[in-house]
Amino acid sequence: MKSFEEFLICMSQYGIWDIISFLVLITSSIIAIRYLWFPICKVDNLNFYITHTRDVTEYPSKLNFEIRNFSNKNIILSNTYFKPNKLVAHQNARGDTLLKKYEIKFPPHFTHPDCLIIHGQVETTWFPIDPNLTDVQIQEFIKNKKAGKFVCKCTFLTKRPRTIKLIIKT
């Protein structure tokens, strides 16, 4: 018992406890920063295919998202929005225009804010773009992943459901 007390006194005198405390603080801070500012951005086998189309509807230019779930789990996407980077949203796009966070809705009739994607299923949605942008500009933004960010909460329906923040740069 005497040697353990001497060990603790020695550690205290040479400042080793301070060094260990500092290292634990730095390590936990790095881990916290990683999970707060850099959330998980990829779910294995949840594939996003992004295309651009033009048609004669209320929103003539659209960025289409095809979401394919091959992850062996059923997934719910909720709190979904698109934050354009280089793209310009259509003037009638719905969402928080000050923060540039625009709503993404799912079928049927593109009115549902949440989406259940069963294993092997494909879901589609779209985001309205300013029709004055040329097809070449839009394809260049998509190719260079500068169009924007597709952000949502992704909940895995398993015995113990787990939710992560999913960010897909487009």
pTM of the model: 0.74
Give the pLDDT of residue 84: 93
Task: Residue 10: count other Cβ atoms within 10 Å of its Cβ.
Answer: 10
- Residue 42, helix vs strand vs coil: coil
d(CA 81, CA 134): 23
- In the predicted model, what is the mean pLDDT of residues 83-93? 90
Give the pLDDT of residue 32: 82
Give the pLDDT of residue 166: 87
**Multiple choice CATH, 46-169, 2.60.40, 1.10.287, 3.30.70, 1.10.8:** 2.60.40
- Of 5-19, 33-47, 85-99, 136-150, the poorest mean pLDDT is in 33-47
Give me the residue spans of the domains in the chain.
2-37, 46-169
Which candidate, 109, 81, 84, places its Cα nearest to that of 95? 81
- Reported as a single tens digit per residue, the pLDDT across 65-87 is 999 999 888 999 999 999 999 88
- Reported as a single tens digit per residue, the pLDDT across 134-148 is 999 999 999 998 899
